[in-house]
């Protein structure tokens, strides 16, 4: 089943983001954010995405007043019983890269004001014969890479995993990108070579095969950067975060909010679901 089949269960961005500003201007929710599907967190939203209908957002001064500020409502009443934590997940990445919040990210607590200070570390690596890195021009020629945008080693590993699962089960796992080109797959215990675009997504029967393949491949350590040939990117930016938190809301702010609430129940719901996020703001470029 495709993730798109769960559209009605996705979080509504207008309910999720109660307030947003960047520097001195208010955000335009329609144009400033691009929805990104994630197998763990569902529908996420990327600010300043390369596909967004907006000019590049830059900061010239440090401090929370000059970066991105968000007040979020996570709507815990819509959570499933299997969800044991409440909050928001933050990932800072280059605008041309696909985000992976399940592996690279930070969590923001409900009922807090979270401030994220960012230090950018730029790394340039030498290609062969002096080094062993992968550039964007190497994508799909040297390594399997099925995500849109710039190359990352994490995206390469997930692409490698998607390819292995398709080969093992003859279907495409909905949690991973769709492979491209000709691949050799196992269909009804017969090995055949097919165009990957012709493969169906896993249904309720074949998904069990794909899930087992995922568990076995990851659990055995067969899928990793070395076995998949997923070398570091020749040019990468790492965003090192310093996170601080304070209680939100304050007593005085709460008094003002009480005037806006029509019932005690409404106020309790707001307190259980609200959080404020400052960041990212740039501290320096080593």
Which 3 state secondary structure label does DSSP give 125?
A: coil
Please provide the size of the chain in residues: 286
The CA distance from 240 to 80, in Å, is: 32
Determine the pLDDT at residue 152. 92
Strands 190-195 and 182-187: antiparallel
Determine the pLDDT at residue 260. 64
Determine the pLDDT at residue 90. 92
For the chain, what are the domain ranges? 3-124+237-284, 136-219
Determine the pLDDT at residue 234. 94
CATH architecture of 136-219: Orthogonal Bundle (1.10)
* CB contact set of 102 (below 8 Å; sequence gap of 6+): 38, 39, 40, 41
Regions in the chain scoring below 70 on pLDDT: 1-9, 52-55, 140-142, 257-286
Q: Which CATH superfamily is domain 3-124+237-284 in?
A: Acid-sensing ion channels like domains (2.60.470.10)
Determine the pLDDT at residue 279. 58
Beta bridge partners of 25: 22
Among 175, 134, 127, which Cα is nearest to 153's? 134
Q: Which two tokens stand for residue 182?
A: 């000709």
Determine the pLDDT at residue 4. 53
pTM here?
0.79
């Amino acid at each position: 089943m495709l993730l798109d089949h769960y559209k009605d269960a996705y979080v509504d961005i207008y309910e999720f983001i109660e307030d947003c500003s960047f520097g001195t201007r208010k955000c335009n929710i329609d144009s400033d954010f691009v929805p990104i599907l994630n197998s763990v967190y569902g529908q996420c939203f990327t600010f300043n995405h390369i596909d967004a209908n907006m000019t590049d957002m830059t900061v010239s001064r440090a401090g929370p007043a000059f970066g991105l500020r968000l007040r979020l409502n996570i709507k815990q009443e819509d959570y499933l019983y299997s969800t044991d934590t409440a909050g928001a997940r933050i990932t800072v990445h280059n605008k041309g890269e696909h985000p992976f919040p399940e592996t690279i990210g930070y969590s923001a607590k409900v009922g807090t004001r979270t401030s994220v200070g960012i230090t950018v570390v730029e790394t340039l690596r030498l290609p062969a014969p002096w080094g062993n890195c992968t550039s964007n021009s190497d994508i799909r020629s040297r390594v399997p890479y099925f995500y849109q945008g710039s190359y990352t080693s994490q995206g390469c590993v997930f692409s490698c995993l998607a390819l292995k699962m398709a080969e093992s089960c003859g279907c495409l796992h909905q949690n991973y990108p769709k492979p491209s080109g000709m691949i050799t797959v196992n269909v009804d215990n017969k090995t055949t070579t097919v165009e990957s675009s012709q493969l169906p997504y896993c249904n309720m029967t074949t998904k069990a095969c794909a899930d087992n393949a995922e568990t076995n491949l990851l659990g055995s350590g067969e899928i990793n950067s070395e076995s998949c040939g997923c070398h570091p990117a020749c040019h990468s930016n790492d965003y090192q975060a310093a996170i601080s938190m304070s209680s939100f809301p304050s007593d005085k702010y709460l008094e003002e909010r009480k005037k806006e609430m029509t019932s005690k129940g409404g106020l309790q719901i707001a307190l259980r679901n609200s959080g404020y996020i400052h960041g990212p703001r740039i501290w320096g470029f080593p």
